[in-house]
């Protein structure tokens, strides 16, 4: 095991990027980290620091299906996807189907959890907490619903529960990839073409919809990044 705890986390914003390109980018960093951990195991006493990355980006319209997902939760055929200028990928994260698109903050933390804590449940809860704290700064109350991942509005009484942030991750040797999708100024009509996360009795929302006005997405990103850094006790290095 690597006994060097490295809290430094490189922050990169990739802007608007094709989903496949971002996935390849993640896979490359993820593989390098996993390979380094394997090498460190062989070189006990002479380990190298494993790096951490926090990546933000936006995607053109795309639907992604996780390993535990069902194809029938995508309600569009190939022609329908073309008509909506959307693409579709089966991917290697947990969870079911979700949508990514402009106006949505997509976050990909590629962390070696050995640098922080080795607990995937805690990892997911802290990512949710960062979004909950960010929403609080806009006077939007949010939280969790038992048995469901992500961040929800009207999570207590659940008269009209609606998801504002979805999560889906993969980890190997405590290195993480994939992450979260936070709806800020998202075109919510695209969710009508899927059964989001396989849940057909709950709605999806965005910060724009909850506030009744468009929001400065860059401002939201700064707040969100700070909350992630504070919760994980990261030392953020902006690249």
Count of domains in the chain? 1
Residue 198 lies in a domain: yes
We report the CATH number of the domain holding residue 164 as 3.30.930.10
Residue 1 lies in a domain: no
Residue 5 lies in a domain: no
Residue 4 lies in a domain: no
How many whole angstroms separate alpha carbon 27 and alpha carbon 130? Answer: 24
How many whole angstroms separate alpha carbon 235 and alpha carbon 239? Answer: 13
Residue 18 lies in a domain: yes
CA distances from 155 to 80, 100, 105, 152, 159 (A): 33, 23, 21, 6, 9
Which domain, by its residues, includes 48?
11-233
How many whole angstroms separate alpha carbon 207 and alpha carbon 200? Answer: 21
In DSSP terms, 56 is beta-bridged to 13, 107
pTM for the complete prediction? Answer: 0.94
pLDDT of the chain along its 239 residues, tens only?
445 689 999 999 999 999 999 999 999 999 999 999 999 989 888 889 999 999 999 999 999 998 888 889 999 999 999 999 999 999 988 778 899 999 999 999 999 999 999 999 999 999 999 999 999 999 999 999 999 999 999 999 999 999 999 999 999 999 999 999 999 999 999 999 998 766 676 899 999 999 999 999 999 999 999 999 999 999 999 99
Q: Which residues are known to be catalytic?
A: 197
């Amino acid at each position: 095991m690597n006994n060097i705890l490295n809290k430094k986390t490189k922050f990169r914003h990739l802007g608007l990027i094709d989903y496949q390109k971002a996935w390849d980018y993640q896979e490359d960093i993820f593989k390098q980290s996993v390979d380094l951990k394997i090498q460190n195991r062989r070189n006990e006493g002479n380990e190298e620091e494993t790096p951490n990355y926090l990546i933000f980006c936006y995607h053109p319209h795309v639907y992604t299906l996780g390993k535990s997902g069902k194809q029938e939760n995508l309600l569009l055929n190939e022609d329908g996807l073309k008509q909506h200028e959307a693409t579709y990928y089966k991917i290697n994260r947990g969870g079911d189907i979700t949508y990514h698109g402009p106006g949505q903050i997509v976050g990909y933390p590629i962390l070696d959890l050995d640098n922080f804590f080795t607990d995937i449940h805690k990892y997911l809860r802290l990512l949710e907490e960062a979004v909950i704290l960010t929403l609080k700064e806009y006077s939007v109350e949010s939280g969790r619903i038992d048995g469901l991942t992500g961040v929800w509005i009207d999570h207590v009484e659940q008269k009209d529960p609606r998801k504002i942030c979805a999560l889906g991750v993969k980890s190997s040797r405590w290195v993480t990839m994939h992450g979260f999708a936070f709806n800020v100024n998202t075109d919510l009509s695209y969710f009508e073409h899927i059964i989001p996360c396989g849940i057909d009795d709950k709605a999806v929302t965005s910060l724009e919809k909850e506030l009744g006005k468009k929001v400065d997405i860059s401002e939201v990103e700064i707040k969100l990044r700070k909350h992630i850094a504070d919760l994980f006790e990261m030392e953020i290095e902006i690249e």
